[in-house]
Structure 1
C-alpha cells in the first residue's frame, strides 16, 4: 500500500472515531431531553392540579352566602315551610339534592339567599360545654371496685340497672321504676364510683357534668345547655346522665333574688321540665349527687323526678375493711399488714381518704428505698392525711383577704 493510501485510511478512521463520539454525545443529549420532558410533563400535571384547586376555591369563595333557617312543616309537591333567621316564615321549594328523609320538622336548614330554596339540612349544634363533658363509652369501674356500700349499691341497681336490663320485671309487677336517683353524702364517699359501676354493668354511655357548668352568664344559655345535654343522652342511649354537685343549680328558689339567681332558677326550671319529659322505662337514666341536700329545691325531690334518695354516708368498720382490701390487693404489702386493723385505726374517714392513705403509704416506702409497704407506713400515711384534712378545715389567714 502506498503512502497516499495509508493517509486516506488514517483519515477515514479518524472520521469514523469522530462520528462515533458525536453519536455518543447525541445519545446523551437525547436522554437528557427525554428526562427534561418527563419532568416538564409531571410539573405541568402538578400545576394543572393546583390550577384546578384554585379555580374550585375561587368558585367556592364567589358562591353567595346561605341563610340559616328552621324547618317548620313539610308540604306536598316538594315544598316546605321554614322560619328564616331574619324573622318571617316562608314557603319554599326543596333542592333535588336533599333527601326527603332528612326533612325533619325542627331541624336547621340553609336557604339560598336569592331564591330562598332549601339547599341543605344542617347538623344539630352542640355546645362546647356539653360536648366537653366527661363522656365514657363504658367506664372501667366495676362493682368489685366499690367497698362498704352494699345496701346503697343494691338500691341504685334496683333503680337504674334493672329498668335498663330487665324492664319486664316492672311490667309484671305493674309499677314504674324511679325516673331519677339522688345520691346524698359527704365528699369522697364513692358517689361517682357508684354511678360509673352501674354504667359499666348496663353497657350504657356515662355522661358526667358538674352542676355549676350549667350556670351561664347570659339569659337562656343555661336552659339551652340542659336541653342539649338531655338530647345528647338520647342520641347515645342507653346512657346515664350523672350531674355532680346538683345543689349548685338546684338550690331552693327564694322570693328575693338577684338577676344571677333568677338565671339559675331558669336553668333549674328547664331541668325540671326535662325530668318530667322522660318516661321511667326509657333508655336514659338520671343520677344526681350532692353533699348539701338541705338546700335543694322541693320540686326536685317530689315524686316523679328524683324518686329515690340514697344516703351514701361514711363507711363503718366493715366497710372500711372492704375498701382497704380492694386497695391492698394491687399493692406489695408486708404479710403483717391487716386490713381490719387499718380499718379500726381510720374511724371517720371516707373511701377517698382511705385510698389516699394507701397511695401515701406506697410513696413512703419508695422514699425509704423499699419495694414493700409496712404497717408503719400506713400509720404514718394516716397521720399525714388526717393532718391535711384538719388544715383544710381551718379558716384561711386574715392576710389572704387583705
Structure 2
C-alpha cells in the first residue's frame, strides 16, 4: 500500500474535508500510474537495446566470410564461384539474398565452413579509380565555350549524336568512332569542351590524368584500366576523359627499362579494352594531348582513336568571343574596346584570356572601384602576357 503520510488528513469529520481527502488520494494514484507507465516504457526500450546487443554479439561470434567472385549462376539457388584464394566451388546461395543481385562477376561473401553464399559485396575498385574526378552533371555548356565552332560541330557528330540518336547510326549502318583524340596547345579548351558535351548529353563526366595510370608495381596500371572501364559502365551514360594520354601511349622504343615495359603493358591493356568496347554503348572515350607526334601509331589506327580533333591557338574573332564570355558576369565600364584587347593578345589561349579577365577584376578591387575599366584590362594583359605572377599565390599564367 502506498505511503500516504504526506497527504493531509482531515482533522474534523466534515463532508467537505472528506471530499478533499479523497481528491488528494486520487491525484496520488494518478501520479503513481503515470510513473509506472514511464518505467514500463523505459523497460521496453532497454529490452530492445539488449536484443540489438545480443544480435550484434552473435554476428561478432560468427566466422568471417570468404570473398569470392561468381562465375556462373545455376538453377535451384546454386552458383559456381571462384574464391579469393584461387579454387572454384559449386555452392548454394542463401534464400535471403535477392536473386537479381546474383550475377556473373559479382563479388560475394562465402560462409567459411559451408561455403554457401551469405552476402553480396560491393564491387572492388582501386582507391585511385574511386578518387577520379567525377561530375554527375558538369556546369559547363556550349555557350561557355568561345571560338570553337568547328570543334563543337565535330564533337556533336562523334560524341553527342551517338548517345542521343543511336537509331540514326543503326539506320545508315555505320558505327560511330570508338575513341576521339583532342589535341592542341595547353589552354585551348579541350577539357572545357569535353565537360560541355557531357552536360549536353546528360552524361557522367569521368576525368583522370594519364600519368595516374603509371604505377610502380607490375600489373597495377592494367588493373586500374580495367576498373576504370567498369566504373564507366556503372555510371552510364558516361564520358571518360583521359588528359595527357601521351603518358601511357608514347612511341615504343627498341631499348627500354622495366618501367617503360610496365607503361607499355598498361597501354596494351587500354587498347585491348578499347577494341573490345561496345561501339554503340552509352560510354564514350575521349583523350587529350599536347604532343600528338609522341603517340604510338597503334593507338591512332582505325577502330581506336580514329577521330582526331585539333584545338589551335584562337584567332582574332575567337579571342574576342572568349573575352566576351569570361567578362559577361563582370561589372564593366562602357569604354572597354575588346578589339584593342584582341590586338594585344596575339598568340594567347583561352586560358590566358580567362586569366586576363580575372586579373583585370583584381586590379579594380585593389583600387576599390565599382567597375572594371579598360585600363585595368590593359594592365592585366601586360601582366599575364609577360608571364608575371598574379596576386593569387602559387599561380602563374602565360
- 2:324 is the alignment partner of 1:325: yes
Paired position in structure 1 for 2:204? 205
Q: Note the residue ranges of structure 2 that are not aligned, 5 or more in a row.
A: 1-9, 391-398
Paired position in structure 2 for 1:259? 258
Scaled by the length of structure 2, the TM-score of the pair is 0.87
SS in 1 for 2:249: coil
CA distance in 1, matches of 2:17, 2:148: 102
Paired position in structure 2 for 1:382? 381
Paired position in structure 2 for 1:312? 311
Paired position in structure 2 for 1:178? 177
Paired position in structure 1 for 2:161? 162
Paired position in structure 2 for 1:116? 115
CA distance in 2, matches of 1:52, 1:98: 23
SS in 2 for 1:13: coil
Paired position in structure 2 for 1:125? 124
Paired position in structure 1 for 2:186? 187
Q: Given the superposition, is the C-alpha separation of residues 41 and 86 from structure 1 closer, same or farther in structure 2, using an over 3 Å criterion?
A: same
Question: 1:49-68 to 2 correspondence within 5 Å?
Answer: 49-68=48-67
Question: How far off is 1:31 after superposition?
Answer: 4.9
Judge which range, 250-259 or 20-29, deviates more.
Answer: 20-29
Q: Given the superposition, is the C-alpha separation of residues 385 and 63 from structure 1 closer, same or farther in structure 2, using an over 3 Å criterion?
A: same
Question: How far off is 1:86 after superposition?
Answer: 2.6
Judge which range, 97-106 or 23-32, deviates more.
Answer: 23-32
- 2:92 is the alignment partner of 1:97: no
CA distance in 2, matches of 1:283, 1:97: 33
Q: Given the superposition, is the C-alpha separation of residues 50 and 97 from structure 1 closer, same or farther in structure 2, using an over 3 Å criterion?
A: closer
Structure ID, larger Rg: 1
SS in 1 for 2:331: coil
Paired position in structure 1 for 2:287? 288
Question: How far off is 1:322 after superposition?
Answer: 1.0
Question: 1:324-343 to 2 correspondence within 5 Å?
Answer: 324-343=323-342
CA distance in 2, matches of 1:201, 1:25: 77
SS in 2 for 1:358: helix
Q: Give the number of the structure whose residues are more often helix, by fraction.
A: 1
Cα deviation code 1:75-114 (max 9, x no counterpart)? 3443322222233222222222234443322222222111
CA distance in 2, matches of 1:369, 1:390: 21
Paired position in structure 2 for 1:43? 42
Question: 1:361-400 to 2 correspondence within 5 Å?
Answer: 361-388=360-387
Q: Is the 8 A contact 2:326 2:354 kept in 1?
A: yes
Question: How far off is 1:191 after superposition?
Answer: 0.5
Question: 1:239-278 to 2 correspondence within 5 Å?
Answer: 239-278=238-277
Paired position in structure 2 for 1:303? 302
Paired position in structure 2 for 1:347? 346
Cα deviation code 1:208-241 (max 9, x no counterpart)? 1111222223322221221121112122222111
CA distance in 2, matches of 1:30, 1:336: 88
CA distance in 1, matches of 2:306, 2:169: 15
CA distance in 2, matches of 1:171, 1:27: 86
CA distance in 2, matches of 1:52, 1:81: 36
SS in 2 for 1:249: helix
Cα deviation code 1:166-205 (max 9, x no counterpart)? 3344445443221111111111111111111211222222
CA distance in 1, matches of 2:35, 2:168: 80
Question: How far off is 1:141 after superposition?
Answer: 1.3
Question: How far off is 1:29 after superposition?
Answer: 4.9
CA distance in 2, matches of 1:248, 1:12: 102
CA distance in 2, matches of 1:214, 1:31: 74
CA distance in 2, matches of 1:325, 1:76: 65
CA RMSD of aligned residues (A): 2.5
Q: Note the residue ranges of structure 1 that are not aligned, 5 or more in a row.
A: 1-10, 392-402
